[in-house]
Structure 1
Amino acid sequence: MAHLLGHRGCMESLRADLRDLQAAIADVTSRAGAVRFPSWKFPDKASCDLDMSVLLQRYRHSDSEPEFSQHAHVVLLELVIDR
């Protein structure tokens, strides 16, 4: 499985999952209100204050930087946990 770390297709799938999760969270919080709980990935921020669109923009696949793509892949996995 390590050979898939940084793979464009895997990362795009994770990004789609994160967008879906964020949409579901937005739907629930619009009805019940935001839950102020520290983010697992960014403990200095509340999880409801994370700007997912900015994070998805920052952590994306890069053909020219395979090491960054691997790092970004791990960050995307951590964001799934955080959500």
Structure 2
Amino acid sequence: MSQFLGRQDCIESLRRDIIDLQGVVLEVFSRTGPVRCHSWKYPDKLSCNLDLVSLLDRYDFVDGEDEFNQHSHIVLLELVIDR
């Protein structure tokens, strides 16, 4: 499985998954109100207060930056868990 770590298609898929999950979270919040729990990825912040747009911009695929892309892949997986 490590051969997939940092691949552009994997990172793009994770980004779409996070956007989809966030849409579902917002739909639930519209009915129940925000859930005030700490983020798994950023325990010093509330999960509902994470700026996902800036996080997705920060951890996007960069051509020729294999190490950064592998790091981004892992961070995006952690954000899926956090959602």
Identity %: 58
Residue 3 of structure 1 and its aligned partner are, at CA, apart by 0.9
1:11 aligns with 2:11: yes
Counterpart residue type for residue 40 of structure 1: W
Q: What value does the CA root-mean-square deviation take over the aligned residues?
A: 0.6
Residue 64 of structure 1 and its aligned partner are, at CA, apart by 2.6
Aligned pairs (5 A) from 1:1-83: 1-83=1-83
In structure 1, how many angstroms separate the alpha carbons of the residues matched to 2:71 and 2:26? 27
- TM-score with structure 1 setting the length: 0.97
Aligned length: 83
- TM-score with structure 2 setting the length: 0.97
Question: Structure 1: where are the runs of 5+ without partners?
Answer: none
In structure 2, how many angstroms separate the alpha carbons of the residues matched to 1:59 and 1:82? 15
- Per-residue CA deviation, residues 9-49 of structure 1 (Å, 9 max, x unaligned), is 01100100000000000111011100110000000000000
Question: Structure 2: where are the runs of 5+ without partners?
Answer: none
Residue 66 of structure 1 and its aligned partner are, at CA, apart by 1.0
Moved beyond 6 Å, runs of 4+: none
